[in-house]
Structure 1
């Protein structure tokens, strides 16, 4: 055991084992940044200047946009490190700041996506009862509280480097190091597993409710199903694969299979890069959650000949509620779906 531990101590786990793989991943990250920055800037513009999110009960959606900007801001640094053959910055402040922002984005995205799904669940399955989520999402103070609650779960990333230089079995553990690493791994897994279980439950209940309704009552249910399914897709592509890879990586490290670890690390890092597509997929959730946002986005950025075609694909007939979209001196009212 001592011999194995001494071998572990001499290995620099932050250097890449396959420069070609990480060169490719760096270009994937650059592509995500190139697409994600203008997309999220345009979404931010719509939410603030055209859609007026604070008037349309879309504060939670706006917070997802803020979380996505945290992620987009980190991508150039990640690409730079991968192109230079390292998995993280050698500067401790830079490394910890980057990890903090990535973990904060991850936690915030999950928290607000789950809240949206729960809102649809209560609107459909428990129709007529008081929907506490609907009450909460009208208050900006609740969004601030969610961000503050995420901080205690994110701060452990600043205590020790999470990405490549820590792990149980990597070194001789002290009680302090062991507790810190264990807590961080628990947070990493529970913030994915528990929300995903909630998502699956909400989806099953909403689909069952849809089957029991008559044809004339199915429009709202179909919209709710699409909202929850869009969140499930985001989870299945962006969060679940890297979570499974992290579990496999921990097992390999505990077993001290160094050759296998070199391969699993590359898979884990690749799936983490895949998780960054979160900033590209979230706008789909916005469109399913609120047709007013979709109509505002189409009106602002799509050519005229495409606008009528795209606006035909609402998930149901518009509700009586309207939202005002401004464009210079011209204003128009757009139909809003249940928000």
Structure 2
């Protein structure tokens, strides 16, 4: 059953264009919450009690866990709204607070993921130089500074009244409201597009370095490549599609075609729901970035027989890579040595 919004083309009352679409999205978020809550709780437990992140210089990873946990905490509210055929709460305080939390989570996840990628970049591409990211990650005050830096970029979601948490291009606004909404849109795109460009550059340089390195360094480089590729996968699946859909939604909204906007809204909200899967994909980044965390997590929650199989498979893969690397080494000319 579709709700007709074209009768009131002015303020957007945030009813869902299609109840069936948003009911399906609510079930998707139920699945994300059901998997994400125990997964992130288990990751938090390992980081604090088994891995001791402050001793293993994994403060950046821990901050991503905190950001993911904040995201998981927001999902029940979004589920409630979608099941009641609305895109947001009728309470302005709830609406702004929820959007603030989602923006803060997204900004923190992106900031710390890029910090991890830059750490791998400096360690691999410029090994002889001082790694500023590695120096900064040793102190928790840098993480506190990043969170505080994100606050002024997220506050515009709370300081103005806007319909459906999103009035840009929808209603005639005052100059103050228009500037605030424009700033929010600019922040939304900049915090995704700019880090993605940086990530593409970092990945390309690391892969290029991997091809030119000697045999003895290839194992380390493969780990760095896997870590950066995992971050790129999170960006490609979770963040980049919703940025493209957001740009399309704003373009359609300016055109004034209500039917096209209803479709664009559903596509955008669907991709936003897909972006919430970063709380499920980020643990893969932890495993690629730090093998110590992977070992601690498996030893805590993985059954003994499965740990043995994984250990045997890892040993076999490592031995095969070593043999392949030895075979690829240029052999010395024994005839010239005898001569």
Is the TM-score greater than 0.5? yes
What is the Cα deviation at residue 172 of structure 1?
1.6
Aligned 1:51-66 pairs, distance under 5 A: 51-66=51-66
Q: Are 1:46 and 1:296, in contact at CA under 8 Å, matched by a contact in 2?
A: yes
Aligned equivalent of 2:17: 17
CA offset digits 1:119-138 (Å, max 9, x no partner): 00000000010000000000
Q: Are 2:63 and 2:143, in contact at CA under 8 Å, matched by a contact in 1?
A: yes
Aligned equivalent of 1:294: 294
Aligned 1:132-211 pairs, distance under 5 A: 132-160=132-160, 164=164, 166-211=166-211
Return the alpha-carbon distance in structure 1 between the equivalents of residues 190 and 79 of structure 2: 28
Aligned 1:112-123 pairs, distance under 5 A: 112-123=112-123
CA offset digits 1:58-115 (Å, max 9, x no partner): 0000000000011000000100100000000111111111111111000000000000
Counting matched residue pairs gives 312
Q: Aligned pair in 2 of structure 1 residues 7, 156: CA closer, same or farther (>3 Å)?
A: same
The structure with the largest helix share of the pair is 2
Return the alpha-carbon distance in structure 2 between the equivalents of residues 159 and 275 of structure 1: 25
Return the alpha-carbon distance in structure 2 between the equivalents of residues 292 and 128 of structure 1: 25
Return the alpha-carbon distance in structure 1 between the equivalents of residues 214 and 299 of structure 2: 34
Return the alpha-carbon distance in structure 2 between the equivalents of residues 10 and 115 of structure 1: 40
Return the alpha-carbon distance in structure 2 between the equivalents of residues 299 and 6 of structure 1: 59
Aligned 1:291-330 pairs, distance under 5 A: 291-311=291-311, 312-313=313-314
Return the alpha-carbon distance in structure 1 between the equivalents of residues 161 and 229 of structure 2: 34
Return the alpha-carbon distance in structure 1 between the equivalents of residues 94 and 168 of structure 2: 24
Q: Aligned pair in 2 of structure 1 residues 100, 307: CA closer, same or farther (>3 Å)?
A: same
CA offset digits 1:189-221 (Å, max 9, x no partner): 000000000000000000110111122221111
CA offset digits 1:8-38 (Å, max 9, x no partner): 22552x0001001101100110110000000
Q: Aligned pair in 2 of structure 1 residues 6, 169: CA closer, same or farther (>3 Å)?
A: farther
1:236 aligns with 2:240: no
Return the alpha-carbon distance in structure 1 between the equivalents of residues 208 and 305 of structure 2: 39
CA offset digits 1:130-156 (Å, max 9, x no partner): 000000000000000000000000001
Q: Are 2:12 and 2:170, in contact at CA under 8 Å, matched by a contact in 1?
A: no
Aligned equivalent of 1:87: 87
Return the alpha-carbon distance in structure 2 between the equivalents of residues 36 and 198 of structure 1: 28
Query: How large is the RMSD of aligned CA atoms in angstroms?
Result: 1.7
Aligned equivalent of 2:248: 248
What is the Cα deviation at residue 159 of structure 1?
2.1
Aligned 1:68-87 pairs, distance under 5 A: 68-87=68-87
CA offset digits 1:293-339 (Å, max 9, x no partner): 0001111111111112223438869xxxxxxxxxxxxxxxxxxxxxx
Normalising by structure 1, what TM-score? 0.89
Gaps of 5+ in 2: 1-5, 320-339
Aligned equivalent of 2:35: 35
Q: Are 1:96 and 1:158, in contact at CA under 8 Å, matched by a contact in 2?
A: yes
Aligned equivalent of 2:223: 223
Q: Aligned pair in 2 of structure 1 residues 126, 316: CA closer, same or farther (>3 Å)?
A: farther
Q: Are 1:168 and 1:254, in contact at CA under 8 Å, matched by a contact in 2?
A: no
What is the Cα deviation at residue 241 of structure 1?
0.6
What is the Cα deviation at residue 168 of structure 1?
3.4
Return the alpha-carbon distance in structure 2 between the equivalents of residues 313 and 155 of structure 1: 46
Return the alpha-carbon distance in structure 2 between the equivalents of residues 65 and 229 of structure 1: 19
Return the alpha-carbon distance in structure 1 between the equivalents of residues 120 and 51 of structure 2: 21
Return the alpha-carbon distance in structure 2 between the equivalents of residues 286 and 66 of structure 1: 13
